[in-house]
C-alpha cells in the first residue's frame, strides 16, 4: 500500500509541473511574448518581455526589471 501512495504522489507532482508549464506558455503566448528573433533553434529559449516603465527587453522569468526595478 505505501508503494502505491508513493507512486501516486510522484505522478501528481509530475502532472502538476507539466500543467503549470503548459499554462505558463499559453499565457505568455496569449500576451504576445515571443522568443528573440535571433535565437538559435537548437535549444530552449527564455521568453522575453519589455518593461512598461523603461522599455528594456529582458527575460520573462525575472520578478523585477533588471534596469529600473519595476515589480511585476
Contact 67, 52 (CB under 8 A): no
Domain extent listing, the chain: 1-32, 35-72
| Cell numbers representing residue 62 in the block | 525575472
pLDDT at 40: 57
Each residue's pLDDT tens digit, 40-60 = 555 666 788 888 889 888 888
Cα separation, 30 vs 18, whole angstroms: 18
pTM of full prediction above 0.85: no
Amino acid at each position: 500500500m505505501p508503494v502505491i501512495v508513493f507512486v501516486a504522489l510522484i505522478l501528481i507532482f509530475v502532472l502538476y509541473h507539466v500543467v503549470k508549464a503548459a499554462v505558463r506558455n499559453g499565457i505568455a503566448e496569449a500576451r504576445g511574448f515571443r522568443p528573440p528573433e535571433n535565437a538559435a533553434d537548437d535549444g530552449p529559449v527564455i521568453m522575453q518581455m519589455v518593461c512598461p516603465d523603461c522599455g528594456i527587453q529582458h527575460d520573462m522569468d525575472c520578478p523585477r526589471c533588471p534596469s529600473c526595478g519595476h515589480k511585476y
